[in-house]
């Protein structure tokens, strides 16, 4: 067991996953990730660079990835905004890399030391144009270690930039954790490099290996050569990267469930808010209200099918968020009107208490449906559910 800060867990997870290149710029509350990478990478024969700004930071990790390195950068809200153009470039060029965003109150300089969940829509839609992206989040220090490794694994497996959303509280809190052993996925290489097309599939060859490559932010074909006026080809290439994710949702969607076997009310939450949500479930069950929790660890792709199925077995759903109601929009779309959905929001830099979440659920129902309070934590694990 080790007492570890959230940002330290992120750095340790990156090293465990095989990260050999980090470029970044200090910003609260993500700075400790950079500081830890500056300490750890030289010992692993890796490379650390403090860049002049966040635009240069993401540009550097894209270039380093094409040199063959596993790469990561970390920032917070204002820096994440600066990264959006190059995030689009990473998506267009199918570049595996990891971008960590420790969310703080915004917009603009906002609330630098206080937590927020206000960047979840920007993480999905911030860069222009339709683009594939995977967005993960965590609710504990242990989660942060595991999901950092997972972010690298998914990025390498599906050749896609992956965003990991932390927040000021998760980044700076300390918990005793036992660091687990995890499977590490390395970059997929083609069976035959002769005649290999740089964008034919999820296989990846860096510069200097195989034949000459062309990498451009313009729409391009499988050979990488620009086809900037060929809309049909551009859509084909885009749909191909989307299908790469859609065909592997079982591996990409990560979540935790708690007391869902008999739940008649459901709380769906993510990130730091899931901690209070779990405690709220315990409060509600003592009051005789059978409530369960879905703790989403993969935000994008959004788990539409899972939520649609859960919605048909409960009487109501509450989504608490540290924003003014962002993820509740795709939630309502996934529920398709099957049950009432209530949004509980705040954007004042403070966390929800378990009592506040429990009270919001109580306001949705006057019934007392639990005959007996379930003992134990009733954690359901399977597939990509993480304990």
Span 30-89, pLDDT tens digits: 999 999 999 999 999 999 999 999 999 999 999 999 999 999 999 999 999 999 999 999
Confidence of residue 384 (pLDDT cuts 50, 70, 90): low
Find out whether 214 and 224 touch, Cβ atoms under 8 Å: yes
Common-topology check for domains 1-252 and 256-380: yes
The model's pTM? 0.94
Find out whether 324 and 120 touch, Cβ atoms under 8 Å: no
pLDDT tens digits, one per residue of 264-281: 999 999 999 999 999 999
Give the Cα separation of 168 and 144 in Å (integer): 13
3-state SS, residue 296: strand
Give the Cα separation of 63 and 95 in Å (integer): 9
Going from N- to C-terminal start, the domains of the chain cover 1-252, 256-380
For the record, the structure tokens of 166 come out as 């932390």
Provide the terminal-to-terminal Cα distance of the chain, rounded to the nearest Å. Answer: 17
3-state SS, residue 56: helix
Give the Cα separation of 217 and 200 in Å (integer): 16
For the record, the structure tokens of 197 come out as 């097309």
For the record, the structure tokens of 187 come out as 């970059």
Strand pairing class (265-270; 47-50): unpaired
pLDDT tens digits, one per residue of 298-313: 999 999 999 999 999 9
Q: Over the Cα atoms of the chain, what is R_g?
A: 21
Q: Which residues, other chains included, contact 140 with Cβ-Cβ below 8 Å and sequence gap of 6+?
A: 170, 175, 275
Which neighbouring-strand residues pair with 167? 103
pLDDT tens digits, one per residue of 114-165: 999 999 999 999 999 999 999 999 999 999 999 999 999 999 999 999 999 9
What share of the chain has pLDDT > 70, as a percent?
94
Under CATH, what is the fold of the domain 256-380? Rossmann fold (3.40.50)
Under CATH, what is the fold of the domain 1-252? Rossmann fold (3.40.50)
Residue 376 is predicted with a pLDDT of: 41
For the record, the structure tokens of 149 come out as 């490794």
- DSSP 8-state secondary structure symbol assigned to residue 6: H
């Amino acid at each position: 067991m080790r007492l570890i800060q959230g940002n330290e867990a992120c750095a340790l997870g990156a090293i465990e996953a095989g990260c050999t290149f980090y470029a970044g710029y200090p910003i609260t509350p993500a700075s400790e990730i950079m500081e830890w990478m500056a300490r750890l990478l030289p010992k692993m024969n890796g490379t650390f660079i403090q860049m002049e700004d966040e635009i240069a930071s993401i540009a550097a990790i894209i270039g380093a990835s094409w040199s063959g390195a596993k790469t990561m950068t970390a920032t917070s809200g204002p820096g994440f905004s600066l990264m959006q153009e190059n995030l689009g470039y990473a998506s267009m060029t199918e570049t595996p890399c990891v971008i960590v965003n420790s969310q703080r109150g915004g917009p603009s300089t906002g609330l630098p030391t206080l937590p927020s969940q206000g960047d979840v829509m920007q993480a999905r839609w911030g860069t222009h144009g339709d683009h594939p992206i995977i967005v993960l989040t965590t609710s504990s220090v242990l989660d942060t270690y595991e999901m950092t490794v997972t972010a690298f694994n998914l990025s390498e497996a599906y050749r896609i930039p992956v965003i990991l959303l932390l927040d000021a509280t998760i980044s700076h809190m300390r918990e005793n954790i036992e660091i687990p052993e995890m499977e590490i996925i390395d970059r997929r290489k083609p069976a035959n490099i002769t005649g290999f097309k740089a964008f034919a599939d999820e296989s990846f060859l860096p510069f200097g290996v195989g034949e000459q490559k062309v990498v451009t932010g313009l729409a391009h074909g499988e050979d990488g050569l620009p086809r900037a006026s060929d809309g049909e080809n551009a859509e084909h290439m885009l749909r191909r990267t989307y299908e790469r994710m859609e065909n592997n949702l079982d591996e990409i969607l990560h979540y935790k469930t708690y007391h869902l076997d008999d739940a008649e009310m459901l709380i769906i939450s993510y990130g730091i808010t899931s901690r209070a949500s779990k405690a709220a479930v315990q409060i509600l069950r003592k009051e005789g209200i059978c409530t369960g929790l879905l703790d989403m660890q993969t935000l994008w792709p959004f788990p539409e099918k899972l939520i649609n199925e859960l919605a048909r077995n409960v009487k109501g759903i509450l989504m608490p968020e540290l924003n003014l109601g962002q993820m509740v929009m795709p939630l309502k779309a996934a529920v398709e009107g099957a049950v009432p959905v209530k949004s509980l929001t705040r954007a004042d830099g403070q966390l929800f208490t378990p009592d506040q979440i429990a009270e919001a659920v109580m306001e949705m129902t006057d019934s007392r449906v639990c005959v007996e309070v379930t003992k134990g934590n009733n954690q359901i694990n399977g597939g990509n559910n993480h304990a």
